[in-house]
């Protein structure tokens, strides 16, 4: 009989099967479809020590169902939907996916930069929806820009931000970063990014790319003040969480020409409403919060969760613990 139990909230059944295969017979794994309310089903599993998939843990009352609960393990980088402070008060820790989707998000970030600079969505729409091949061919010269040689400012040089920086080396960019976290000189050198203060990054970067967790300290870190200090040709990329950007201020900055464009995988409210003023702009690329999704990223995130499950069973501290802020 297994000595430990995990509740696994899956998008597809194979995810729970991969996790169960990785942890072995000492841990019982009970799978539920993502979106399951653990307050409704959790009462039958009081011996649970670990929950994988933070989407089912939006209320601290969930912890009261599981007196042995030690860890909530997300398969995403973000943990902002989980009441971490209240969970910490109950002795429950929260861990993220430890960079499981970092490569996927970094790749989409670079794609967003290029798509915004070259207005690829406008070109795609002209060709595929309008059937127009050369619309604006002459007049569009001044609207397209190259990424090579640009100064890219990365806010947050963690698992994702550092990988964005490494990929930009091939584009011959000057990469700078700002972060409240201290890193070793070796880490910064490997990323190929130079530390500057936040205001300098905002004022001097051609591209500003956001890669921070959403918490009280990062909510609306870009607002009217920051947009007003950006270069007129700057573009903003957000592939972390929508509320990190003051959306109303972003729309004003686009309307007033304070910035040249934006590439967004996330918005303040998701799914985005069709009446949102960001919709239909030729200088805004919008994606449906899918940057982190790939077969490989899911496999890596599950395998990282397996590692933490094994640490719990061995009486060791799990990795990827997020501070309760």
Let me know: does 33 contact 55? Beta carbons within 8 Å: no
Q: CA-to-CA distance for 264 and 24, rounded, in angstroms?
A: 40
State yes or no: cis peptide before 173, omega within 30 of 0.
Answer: no
Q: CA-to-CA distance for 221 and 245, rounded, in angstroms?
A: 6
DSSP state of 192: T
Note if 145 is an active site residue: no
- Of 289, 299, 310, 311, which is the active-site residue? 289
Strands of the chain (E only): list them: 4-10, 27-33, 50-52, 71-73, 93-95, 151-155, 174-178, 194-195, 207-210, 235-238, 261-264, 284-286
- Of 18, 119, 211, 241, which is the active-site residue? 241
Let me know: does 143 contact 119? Beta carbons within 8 Å: yes
Q: CA-to-CA distance for 231 and 217, rounded, in angstroms?
A: 24
Residue 297 CB partners (closer than 8 Å, separation 6+) = 100, 101, 103, 104
Instruction: State the CB neighbour count (10 A cutoff) for residue 9.
Output: 22
DSSP-assigned beta bridge partners for residue 245: 222
Note if 241 is an active site residue: yes
- Of 47, 270, 296, 316, which is the active-site residue? 270
Q: Is the dihedral of CA 124, 126, 132, 136 positive or negative?
A: negative
Q: CA-to-CA distance for 168 and 93, rounded, in angstroms?
A: 35
Let me know: does 110 contact 104? Beta carbons within 8 Å: no
Note if 93 is an active site residue: no
Residues serving a catalytic function are: 241, 270, 289
């Amino acid at each position: 009989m297994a000595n430990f139990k995990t509740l696994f909230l899956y998008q597809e059944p194979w995810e729970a099967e991969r996790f169960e295969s990785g942890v072995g017979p000492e841990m019982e794994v009970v799978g539920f479809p993502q979106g399951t309310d653990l307050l409704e089903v959790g009462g039958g599993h009081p011996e649970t020590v670990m929950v994988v998939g933070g989407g089912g843990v939006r209320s601290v009352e969930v912890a009261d169902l599981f007196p042995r609960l030690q860890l909530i393990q997300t398969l995403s980088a973000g943990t902002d939907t989980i009441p971490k402070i209240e969970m910490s008060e109950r002795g429950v820790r929260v861990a993220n996916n430890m960079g499981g989707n970092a490569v996927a998000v970094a790749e989409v970030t670079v794609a967003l930069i290029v798509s915004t600079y070259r207005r690829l969505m406008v070109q795609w729409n002209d060709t595929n929806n309008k059937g127009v091949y050369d619309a604006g061919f002459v007049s569009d010269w001044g609207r397209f820009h190259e990424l090579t040689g640009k100064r890219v400012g990365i806010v947050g040089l963690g698992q994702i931000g550092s990988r964005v920086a490494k990929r930009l080396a091939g584009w011959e960019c000057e990469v700078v970063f700002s972060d409240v976290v201290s890193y070793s000189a070796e880490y910064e050198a490997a990323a190929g990014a130079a530390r500057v203060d936040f205001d300098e990054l905002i004022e001097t970067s051609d591209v500003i790319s956001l890669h921070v967790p959403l918490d009280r300290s990062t909510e609306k870190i870009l607002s009217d003040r920051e947009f007003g200090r950006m270069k007129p040709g700057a573009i903003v990329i957000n592939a972390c969480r929508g509320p990190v950007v003051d959306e109303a201020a972003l729309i004003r900055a686009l309307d007033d020409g304070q910035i040249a464009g934006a590439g967004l995988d996330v918005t303040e409210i998701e799914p985005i409403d069709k009446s949102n003023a960001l919709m239909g702009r030729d200088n805004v690329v919008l994606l449906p919060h899918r940057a982190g999704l790939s077969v490989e990223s899911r496999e890596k995130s599950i395998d990282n969760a397996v590692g933490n499950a094994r640490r719990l069973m061995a009486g060791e501290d799990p990795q990827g613990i997020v501070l309760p802020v």
